[in-house]
């Protein structure tokens, strides 16, 4: 999706849904090397008091990249930094909603700030993020 910088406005918002499955969790474990049994063993996670396999926080947080690069801003956005606060564990096979809003734009430097969150089907906040981005040349 291509959006020109001038079309970005404070208050612009967007959202989308994503459900993670066991195959995606296993691929992330392999790619990241994070094989903590909390993530890859349902039995271990349940014995530790969780509902099932706990999704990696950075797997769910990858949705912030999707929000910026695909939904809210588009092709020319480049994330500079992300501040994330995790509130709840996330689990397999639930539909998570990622929502974000542009809260500040620096037109001179082509930079902007987005506030975003990921919520579960019960509207519990999984994580919140402040995302600082730049806009590359069109």
Domains identified in the chain and CATH numbers: 12-135 (3.10.129.10)
- How far is it, in rounded angstroms, from Cα 70 to Cα 75? 7
Residue 136 in this model has a pLDDT that exceeds 90: no
Dihedral of alpha carbons 2, 131, 93, 122, sign: negative
8 Å CB contact between 54 and 89:
yes
What pLDDT, on the 0 to 100 scale, is given for residue 31? 97
Residues written for the chain: 138
Residue 138: per-residue pLDDT: 60
Average confidence score pLDDT of the chain: 95
81, 16 contact by CB (below 8 A): no
So what's the pLDDT on residue 4?
Answer: 79
What's the confidence (pLDDT) of residue 38? 97
Report the phi/psi class of residue 88: left, alpha or beta, with left for phi > 0 and alpha for psi in -120 to 50: beta
User: Per-residue pLDDT tens for 88-119?
Assistant: 999 999 999 999 999 999 999 999 999 999 99
Torsion of CA 25, 30, 32, 35, to 10 degrees: 80
Q: Would you place residue 5 in the very low, low, confident or very high pLDDT band (cuts 50, 70, 90)?
A: confident
pLDDT in tens, 120-130: 999 999 999 99
């Amino acid at each position: 999706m291509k959006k020109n910088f001038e079309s970005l406005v404070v208050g612009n918002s967007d959202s989308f849904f994503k459900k993670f499955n066991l195959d995606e969790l296993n691929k992330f474990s392999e790619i990241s090397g994070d094989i903590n049994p909390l993530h890859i063993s349902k039995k271990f996670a349940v014995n530790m008091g969780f509902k099932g396999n706990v999704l990696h926080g950075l797997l769910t947080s990858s949705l912030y990249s999707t929000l910026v690069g695909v939904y809210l801003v588009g092709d020319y956005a480049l994330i500079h930094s992300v501040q994330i606060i995790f509130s709840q564990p996330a689990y397999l096979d639930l539909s998570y909603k990622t929502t974000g809003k542009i809260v500040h734009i620096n037109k001179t430097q082509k930079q902007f700030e987005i506030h975003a969150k990921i919520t579960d089907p019960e509207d519990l906040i999984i994580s919140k993020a402040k995302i600082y981005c730049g806009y590359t040349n069109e």
